[in-house]
Structure 1
Amino acid sequence: MLTKRSLGEQAFDMGNAILMVLISLITLYPLIYVLFSSLSDPHYVVQNRGLLLFPHGLNFDSYKMVFRNPNILTGFGNTFFYVTVGTGLNILLTSLGAYALSRKNLMLKNPIMFLIVFTMFFEGGLIPLYLLMRNLELLDTRFAVILPSAISAFNLIIMRTAFQTVPESLEESARIDGAGDWTILFKIVIPLSMPVVAVMILFYGVSHWNSWFLATIFLQKREFFPLQVILREILISNDTNAMSVGVGTSDQMAIGETIKYATIIIATVPILFLYPFLQKYFVNGVMVGAIKE
């Protein structure tokens, strides 16, 4: 049955819609500005610092120069390795830990959970972590970037809570049929918790894609640098000379600005394509993993 809405309710909905549109535009404009700047004429970008609502003098030279830099392609390859291998390891270890902690008959369950939560507030620090990586002979290896963040305590708690919502009757039926813990985990619990697993893939994947700090601490070989470290060098160190070879001295500063913008877009766009595929699981996954009835 449809009810007639009052004028105040209609005005509130309209005002709410306008407010949300404005917030969306404010949020999106920095990315739009970077995109249009990377496609604009370099001299226009340097001389004009105001609003940019469309590309001025459509120009793709910045992107061509970025891809001339072999460090960009190497960084892409390394980042792809860190995201795929790191996220796979994250999901595996987090699932194993969450499944064990979701069992009611686990010995010392509460003390273990206390220690896990404790790590969310206190940690050993950077120097002990560096010494640990050195003693394990992991410095200047890709696993020095992956292993320190193999499990997130926050994500572990979310997945544990989600696993606890799986009906016990399913597990009992599976055990009667002779299934063990490995079968129950991979054929019952995880398939029934796919929204949470999808959210974990998103959390871990974005974290690996944006990670740069551990690489700067543990890696000295440039062939292992992720894309974000290369991007950091270009933006902070203003190192665009290698990509602007063949450009006149007077134009290097101008083209250097658009190269920075183009590098930001190249480093941002790939991870944005991951969101549409996982968006439908996001709210459901977080709510299931965060709330226990």
Structure 2
Amino acid sequence: MSTQISPAGPVPAGPQPAPRLRRRHPQRPTWEEPPSFLGQLGKGTALTLLVLAVLFPMWSVVVTSLSSRETINDTGGMVVVPREIDLSAYFSIFSGGTITQAVWISTLVTVAGTTVSLALTVLAAYGLSRPGSVAHRGLLFLFLGTFLIFPGLVPSYLVVTGLGLKDSLWSLILPSAISVFNLVVIRAFFMNVPGELLDSARIDGAGEFRILWTIMLPLSRAVIAVVGLFYAVGYWNAYFNSVLFIDDNSKFPIQRVLQSYILAGQSPNVSGSSISVPGVTAYPPTLAVKMAVVVVTVLPAVIAYPFVQRHFTKGVITGAVKG
């Protein structure tokens, strides 16, 4: 093989390998390098498209719920560009009809269910986080076994019916009162509390309930707020339990009413009387009423999330299972 003479010494002839790209900071790993301009542009474009894909349907739903019959007829369906504000759909659903009753039922189930679920989950998590508690290991495996074994719809229906909960609002709360995932998260947080703190409280004469109320709950405020949001959103969006256990139309939650209006194609049954409000049409269009129900269904979760968002990351990461 022939060689060429260079000031630095002999260099083999022939194709030379491409020079290796040098990083801007060789002392740092590749994944810690700042992104390039094209990388930032691509991420920004992808995030913008994702946000538009989420916000555009919501915008169309809100605008349609505030549109008049003439606007909906002119567009032939969903409205994107608003022309005027017509609140007749909202006056209709909150004037004492089926939707008003369903909103109150969902609110009651959400408040009562979240309270019951948080109380049971915190008590169970605290008991399972204490190594010396009675049947600690057996109960823990019993809870964790529900991740792998689900009894099925028929046994669940037979149990609820056998307990006399059919057509009762408790049938929307008790079957899903404890989420094992939330229990594991709170238990992991309780186990991270220093044992010396609890021992000092016991030396001062505090019992287990006093320790839970005055020490554990104030320390776990973030994780309990996040778990409470999970429970509240779950109860508000609960639909399938009402299909199984509720036959009385007056006890339908808002999600069941929404299903009958949107999917089953039924016409919204509002108060039955015309709306006599200045500037509001007497009989709102059916599509506007349906979209107003969708807005009312989504609005509570949208309002509640900002108040819990500051605890979200801290609560989930602090209560997560470390591996």
TM above 0.5, one fold?
yes
Counterpart secondary structure, 1:162: helix
Q: Which residue of 2 aligns with 1:168?
A: 195
Which of 268, 277, 290 aligns to 2:307? It is: 277
Which of 71, 86, 90 aligns to 2:98? It is: 71
- AA paired with 1:262? A
Q: Is the 8 A contact 2:98 2:270 kept in 1?
A: no
CA drift of 1:282 comes to: 0.5
CA drift of 1:140 comes to: 1.4
Q: Which residue of 1 aligns with 2:8?
A: none
Q: Is the 8 A contact 1:244 1:255 kept in 2?
A: no
Q: How does 1:33-48 map to 2 (within 5 A)?
A: 33-45=60-72, 48=75
* Structure-2 change in CA distance of 1:179 and 1:60 (3 Å): same
Question: C-alpha distance in 1, partners of 2:80/2:172?
Answer: 39
Q: Is the 8 A contact 1:244 1:256 kept in 2?
A: no
Q: Which residue of 1 aligns with 2:298?
A: 268
Question: C-alpha distance in 2, partners of 1:228/1:159?
Answer: 29
More moved, 46-55 vs 78-87: 46-55
CA drift of 1:278 comes to: 0.3
* Structure-2 change in CA distance of 1:51 and 1:127 (3 Å): closer
CA drift of 1:235 comes to: 1.2
Q: Is the 8 A contact 1:162 1:289 kept in 2?
A: yes
Question: C-alpha distance in 1, partners of 2:111/2:262?
Answer: 26
Cα displacement string for residues 144-197 of structure 1 (whole angstroms, at most 9, x for unaligned residues): 111001101111111111111111111011000001110111111111011110
Identical columns (%): 33
Q: How does 1:232-243 map to 2 (within 5 A)?
A: 232-240=259-267, 242-243=269-270
> 5+ residue gaps in structure 1?
248-253
Q: RMSD of the alignment, in Å? A: 2.8
Say which structure is richer in helix.
1
Counterpart secondary structure, 2:300: helix
> 5+ residue gaps in structure 2?
1-23, 26-32, 275-283
Which of 181, 188, 194 aligns to 1:154? It is: 181
With the length of structure 1 as denominator, give the TM-score of the two structures.
Answer: 0.88
Q: Which residue of 2 aligns with 1:250?
A: none
With the length of structure 2 as denominator, give the TM-score of the two structures.
Answer: 0.80
Question: C-alpha distance in 1, partners of 2:182/2:175?
Answer: 15
Cα displacement string for residues 91-136 of structure 1 (whole angstroms, at most 9, x for unaligned residues): 0000011001111223443333222122123211111111111221
Question: C-alpha distance in 2, partners of 1:285/1:94?
Answer: 15
CA drift of 1:54 comes to: 3.0
* Structure-2 change in CA distance of 1:143 and 1:245 (3 Å): closer
- Aligned residues between the structures: 287
Please state if 1:286 is matched with 2:286: no
Cα displacement string for residues 188-214 of structure 1 (whole angstroms, at most 9, x for unaligned residues): 111101111001110000000001211
